[in-house]
Amino acid sequence: MSGIFIHGLGAVSPAGWSMADFRSAVDKNVPLPVQTVTRPGLEQPLPNRAVPPAASRPAFLTHSRLRRATAIAQHAVAAALEAIGGDVAKVQSGELCLGIIVGAITGCVTYSRRFYEEVMREPATASPVIFPETVFNSPASHLAAFLGTNQIAYTLVGDAGTFAQGLALAAEWLLEDRLDACVVIGAEENDWITVEAIKLFQRRVIHGAGAGAVYLKKSPVGALAELAAVTDSFSFTHTQSRAGAARKMRAQLPPAGSDEMLCGSAQNIPRLDEAENSAWKDWNGTRLLPKAILGEAFVAAAAWECVAACDAIARGKFSAANVSIVGANQQAIGARFSAPK
Amino acid sequence: MGLNRVVATGVGIVTALGSGWRTNADGFRLGKTAFRPVTVFDVSRHCAKTAAEVDLPEIFPATRLTPKRFRRMGRASKMLLLAAHEALAQAGWQADGDWPIILGTTSGEMTLGENFLRQAVESPRRKRDQPSRIAHYQVQQQGLDLCDAFGFAGAVTTISNACASGANAIGHAFERVRRGQDERIIAGGYDALCQLTFAGFDSLHALSVTHCRPFDAHRDGLSLGEGAAVFTLERLDGAKERGAEIFGEIIGYGATTDTHHLTQPHPEGSAAVAAMQAACAEARVLPEQIDYVNAHGTATPHNDAAEAAAINRWAGAHAGKTHVSSTKAGIGHLLGGAGAVEGAICLMALREQFLPPETTLETVDPAVRFQIVQKPMERKIKTALSNSFGFGGANASLVFRRWE
């Protein structure tokens, strides 16, 4: 996969609406405070980590397509625009041909819940304004509209590993020369219904929300990092356990170098982390767990892992970083980033 | 690097016309329609009352799924399972390789999600059945169900590009096999009727309250349907080597994004034209070499006007000779399943040499400059193009060639 380079990073997280906020939280390596979300019908609120309000209203929200946009769309667009940075104008002018890949698992869950609650009450008055925003690909569509690009855009749905599938797809498109650049985004939003669903499976998980974005091109000039590899996706099936899939993923990534980092998907919950910890038991280098700091935000959290890895390389802290993503219920998949040569 | 030719060695299909290639081919050849009052949820308080529902069989083909696992699956998963079973049986693929699965859907198993929310709201303390609903509701679970049903362990990718999802899944799989990234892929699209989506289109006044008439001057909206189609795609040389029956060839795929509006296409269909042109360019065919176009043709005023403009522009001087129909007139709009099912219909038309008519058409919209197939027609055809255009401006076109 050598030949694909990272040219920008973006992050929206419970730490705030920028890479600076994200970096600050990751560098401290201390779990952010847990907040609560009201659970209608029950006195006990549910724990979570929400994205705080932006210090100032993001300028992109004045765009006609984004005024009513869901939280997930706002997260996705903010992270993508931060990652694309100075090239936004080039995309808008048509000078640069950009592909878009958005990954998510919960999608626009808040509007979906609100819309279906309206349907349960009285279908005839359910809001036609909300419904279109519930579609999985609305964040990608809004971003394309904001940027004015009519190039290919895919929305991939699945567990956290979907982000790495998106990276591999972006690399394919770039290597085929069908695009000048591609932005890959993992995005999720908070809602009490998601928090409750998570609690049914693992009570100690703290739900988070936000987005991470990685901006890729073929050119090494000015790159922050190189996408050295994306492993195969190993599905969790009858014939392949979660632990077995994690081991196969790990086997496709190199052993620890002295100045390398591992960005993992564990969150300091032993039962949940067992498959990943077992697969990486030989790793004796630095290990960073963004989810343990920011919360379980599924595809967005996998994006944060990649963003943190690239950022550490770009700041000269490590020469390379492996990213391990052992998803909740679909796949184990990994990626490797290195300093651009 | 040389490009591989990509063929379908299995095509499974489930629609409201029935299950299987034979039943569906016979139905589409005659332009049968399959709409009836909705029974899978209560529509008494909705404006629209009908859809094209699938009758699931009482007995399903045997797979490796346990009875308990099968019981927990919803309608969408079961339709997908039926289509995959047919395709894999035709292809003769055994569980001897970790073939990837690429699927398209808009809603996955949304009815289970609706039931989860309903119970969470109405009985907040009651948790019974909720974990199972969440597990099976998630989109990736349907792909994993196929893995476990047939003994594969390949990567599962799910594209959710609204109503173009199924076409994107087939197109993406085509590209991967064509470029040698995979030898074989199971690809398809599916969606089941669910109240959230039905209510959504109803709230937009996009559902017909009469009957579905794509490209009719008096059309009043779309009708929803449900179903699935699954293709087993593989390299031509591999298929020939093992003596597989070939149902048709995929030769082109184009995908673009229409940024005009979240739910309405650009009135001139510019991005749609670009998708059709890209697919034809990859297929190395000119519009005049396309013998049949299976239009997206939802029968909403906006979609059909924009698509008519797009086809007129794409076909140019040849428009008057281009045969077009929308098979949504018979089975409704299958959303994420539409692109895959309509691709399967193109392969049926090419293999059995007919043009699928839309028999509900009464008065052709004056914007239409092409020939709409209104009556059953046997015809020698070699190449077909299928359009799929979705919310959010997701546009995809596929080009198929008859295998001779």
pLDDT in tens, A109-131: 999 999 999 999 999 899 999 99
Closest CA to A12 of A187, A192, A139, A145: A187
Shortest Cα–Cα distance, B56 to chain A (Å): 26
- For residues B363 and B218, the answer to whether their CB atoms sit within 8 Å is yes
Tell me the C-alpha distance between B365 and B308, whole Å: 9
The verdict on A43 touching B (C-beta cutoff 8 Å) is no
Widest pairwise Cα distance in chain B? 66
> Is B35 within the bounds of a domain?
yes
Which of A42, A145, A150 shows the shortest C-beta gap to B256?
A150
- In the predicted structure, residue B117 carries a pLDDT above the cut 90: yes
- In the predicted structure, residue B97 carries a pLDDT above the cut 90: no
Residue B260 annotated among the catalytic residues of the structure: no
> Is B12 within the bounds of a domain?
yes
Q: Report the chain A residue with the minimal C-alpha distance to residue B395.
A: A152
Average pLDDT over residues A325-333: 97
pLDDT band, residue A184 (cuts 50/70/90): very high
Number of helices and strands (H, E) in chain A?
Answer: 11, 13
> Is B94 within the bounds of a domain?
yes
Q: Report the chain A residue with the minimal C-alpha distance to residue B257.
A: A150
- In the predicted structure, residue A154 carries a pLDDT above the cut 80: yes
- In the predicted structure, residue B113 carries a pLDDT above the cut 80: yes
Flag whether the pTM goes above 0.80.
yes
| Interface contact A197-B202, CB threshold 8 A | no
Which of A120, A128, A196 shows the shortest C-beta gap to B203?
A128
Which of A126, A149, A193 shows the shortest C-beta gap to B203?
A126
The verdict on A209 touching B (C-beta cutoff 8 Å) is no
Quick: pLDDT tens for A131-150: 999 999 999 999 999 999 99
Quick: pLDDT tens for B32-58: 999 999 999 999 999 999 999 999 999
Shortest Cα–Cα distance, A95 to chain B (Å): 17
Domain A225-338: give its CATH superfamily: Thiolase/Chalcone synthase (3.40.47.10)
Average pLDDT over residues B329-348: 98
In this prediction, residue A1 carries a pLDDT of 61
| Interface contact A329-B257, CB threshold 8 A | no
The verdict on A148 touching B (C-beta cutoff 8 Å) is yes
Question: Among residues B85, B296, B323, B346, which one is catalytic?
Answer: B296
The dotted CATH code for A5-217 is 3.40.47.10
| Interface contact B157-A158, CB threshold 8 A | yes
Residue B323 annotated among the catalytic residues of the structure: no
The verdict on A160 touching B (C-beta cutoff 8 Å) is no
Domain of B50 in residue numbering reads as: 6-401
Burial of B331 (0-12, 13-18, 19+ CB in 10 A): buried
- In the predicted structure, residue B176 carries a pLDDT above the cut 80: yes
The verdict on A42 touching B (C-beta cutoff 8 Å) is yes
Average pLDDT over residues A171-175: 96
The separation between the first and the last C-alpha atoms of chain B, rounded to the nearest angstrom, is 26
The verdict on B394 touching A (C-beta cutoff 8 Å) is yes
In this prediction, residue B98 carries a pLDDT of 86
- Tell me which chain B residues have a C-beta less than 8 angstroms from the C-beta of A120: 118, 121
Shortest Cα–Cα distance, B25 to chain A (Å): 31
CA distances from B120 to A194, B127, B156 (A): 11, 8, 30
In this prediction, residue A257 carries a pLDDT of 79
| Interface contact A131-B203, CB threshold 8 A | yes
Domain coordinates of chain A in residue numbers?
5-217, 225-338
| Interface contact A138-B262, CB threshold 8 A | yes
Domain count along chain B: 1
> Is B1 within the bounds of a domain?
no
pLDDT band, residue B1 (cuts 50/70/90): low
| CATH (domain of B134) | 3.40.47.10
Looking at every residue in chain B, the average pLDDT score rounds to 96
> Is B356 within the bounds of a domain?
yes
Average pLDDT over residues B383-390: 97
- Tell me which chain A residues have a C-beta less than 8 angstroms from the C-beta of B47: 124
Same fold flag, A5-217 and A225-338: yes
Looking at every residue in chain A, the average pLDDT score rounds to 96
Residue B333 annotated among the catalytic residues of the structure: yes
Q: Report the chain B residue with the minimal C-alpha distance to residue A138.
A: B392
In this prediction, residue B94 carries a pLDDT of 85
Here the ipTM equals 0.98
- From chain A residues 278-337, the ones with a CB under 8 A of any chain B CB are 329-331
Half-sphere exposure of B128 (CA within 13 A, CB side): 3
pLDDT band, residue B200 (cuts 50/70/90): very high
| Interface contact A329-B203, CB threshold 8 A | no
pLDDT band, residue B95 (cuts 50/70/90): confident
Which of B156, B179, B390 shows the shortest C-beta gap to A330?
B156
A213 backbone φψ class: left, alpha, beta (φ>0; ψ -120 to 50): beta
Average pLDDT over residues B151-158: 95
- For residues B11 and B249, the answer to whether their CB atoms sit within 8 Å is no
